Amino acid sequence: MAAKHEPSFYDSVQRNFDRAAALTNLPKGLLAQIRECNSVYQMRFPVKIGKEYKVIEAYRAQHSHHRLPTKGGIRYSQKVNQDEVMALASLMTYKCALVDVPFGGAKGGVKISPREYSVEDLEKITRRYTTELIRKNFIGPGIDVPAPDYGTGAREMAWIFDTYTVFKGGEIDAAGCVTGKPVTQNGIRGRSEATGRGVYYGIREVLNDKPLMDAVGLSTGTAGKTVAIQGLGNVGYHAGKICQTEGEMKIISVAEYEGAIYSEEGIDIEKLSKFRKRTGSILNFPGTSQLDQRKKTLEVECDVLIPAALENQLRKDNAKRIKAKVIAEAANGPTTADAEAILLKKGTIIIPDMYLNAGGVTVSYFEWLKNLSHMRFGRIEKRFDENTYLRIVNLIEKKTGKPVGVTEKSMIARGADEIDLVRSGLEETMVTAYEQIRTVMKRRKKVTDLRTAAFIVALNKISSDYLNMGVFP
Ligand code: GLU
């Protein structure tokens, strides 16, 4: 929850929208249409848990239909409510537009705490929720395509897919009804790491941006930069691990449900994750000390703070105590609009959620394309590319008279696998979107923060979609 007298999550998103919209020349009616949440389906259904029936509250919000299908995850959390799914669905619209994923925004939520249910019960709830979506025409490869979010993963997506095919037998593109599926069930390699990997690429772009780094007194580059992470779920884990292995960054604090730990020497995320799986907790991880409250991770002295849990974590009441130079919003909506005003005043750089965590939906888009094409990426060209590269290397050997080593040869003469293409497409997406955001900031002196610039990029793209449709001539 936001602190007392703070705007709700949806209000925060609307406030950020208004700040950016005021800096555009787009027609008022068009902006109003983009801003509103088009449809919200609120449902309640019974599920038999043990000997008793439980009434489950759930939602699916579709924020914008300017492009179809609509797209966005499904979250399982006790905190799910209508305001939250509407906020999250809105963010999906802007996120997709920003990174050129041709979908409208949506989000679903089931108001349950997954840890209180057995796997069998979760399966029952997921299948029933899917049935409700089918009944109201709120799911389908060309209609609305869910994906994982907080509290869900590949397992839940497999149940959704299976339930869908039961009802829609013979639908040739059925696999495209949901993304984030297991690789063995029409999923794509690289989807589970995608959001975290995208977070790393986004952080890397910002840390290599000299004018921005000069403004906060940091040198450029990722190596050696200190990081604090809130949340070691799918996003936090992969983001932390890749920042550490590929960016050579130092993770000094991690917070999870059970508490927070700190180490000046750095925490090995892979080892920490294994430790947590074994012991059920991050606490007492060798070489770390415990912070007295889990929220203290947000306040440690560090270069980059990665909130990778839920919304409304940086608020009016703690914003002044945040010492990080860069806030990397891996979660959706971790900063309230009030906190943002305080942080921007202090000069903190906020890498906005709609950009930073767009890697997930980007690779979901690749998965959806794979499903529609009914073929793995790389299958057609891999062997052809390998043979071409090999011919080039052989020619060089012949012309120079110098043999290329066997290892080097196999490294050069390698065609791309699905995972290589997915990572390359993701990196390209994150780099291009960042360039677009920075171009707006360079051209428009009044735009001084990354979120407003990201909004403007997204609004311009969505508006031109509407204008091209002739809806607003
Ligand atoms: N739940 C993720 C997000 O918030 C991914 C959505 C998707 O892949 O559709 O962006």
Written in H, E and C, the secondary structure of 355-368 is: HHCCHHHHHHHHHH
Active-site residue, from 71, 95, 107, 296: 107
Q: Quick one: which atom of ligand 1 is closest to the CA of 145? A: 9
CA 452 from centroid of its chain's CA atoms: 19
pLDDT value for 8:
93
pLDDT value for 7:
86
pLDDT value for 3:
56
pLDDT value for 6:
82
Closest-CA residue, ligand 1 atom 9, reads 72
Which residues in 77-214 belong to E strands, given as ranges? Answer: 104-110, 144-148
Whose structure tokens read 């959001």? 195
Dist. CA 20–CA 459, nearest whole Å: 9
Residues carrying CATH 3.40.50.10860, the chain: 38-185
Tokens in use for 429? 């997406």
Cβ of 240 closer than 6 Å to ligand 1, yes or no, is no
Cβ of 361 closer than 6 Å to ligand 1, yes or no, is yes
CATH 3.40.50.720 fits 188-381+416-473, yes or no: yes
CA of 216 to the centre of ligand 1 (A): 31
pLDDT value for 468:
84
446 catalytically annotated: no
Q: Quick one: which atom of ligand 1 is closest to the CA of 88? A: 4
Do 260 and 327 contact (CB within 8 A), yes or no?
Answer: no
Residues carrying CATH 3.40.50.720, the chain: 188-381+416-473
From residue 331, alpha-carbon distances to 111, 121, 216 in Å are 19, 27, 23
Return the CATH number of the domain spanning residue range 38-185.
Answer: 3.40.50.10860
From residue 57, alpha-carbon distances to 43, 70, 114, 246 in Å are 6, 22, 14, 42
Q: Report the Cα–Cα distance between both ends of the chain, in Å, rounded.
A: 41
Give me the long-range contacts of 153-158 (CB less than 8 A, separation at least 24): 153/180, 153/192, 153/234, 154/180, 154/181, 154/182, 154/187, 154/191, 154/192, 155/182, 156/74, 156/76, 156/122, 156/126, 157/181, 157/182, 157/187, 158/182, 158/185
Question: pLDDT below 50 — which residues of the chain?
Answer: none
CA of 99 to the centre of ligand 1 (A): 13
CA of 248 to the centre of ligand 1 (A): 27
What is the torsional sign of CA 61, 331, 314, 295? positive
Q: Which 3 state secondary structure label does DSSP give 64? A: coil
Cβ of 364 closer than 6 Å to ligand 1, yes or no, is yes
pLDDT value for 418:
98
52-62 and 39-49: which strand pairing? antiparallel
- Show Cβ contacts of residue 151 under 8 Å, excluding neighbours closer than 6 positions: 75, 76, 77, 114
Dist. CA 255–CA 267, nearest whole Å: 12
CA of 210 to the centre of ligand 1 (A): 30
Strand partners, 289: 262
pLDDT value for 368:
98
Pocket test for ligand 1, best of 195, 197, 329 (most atoms within 8 A of CB): 195
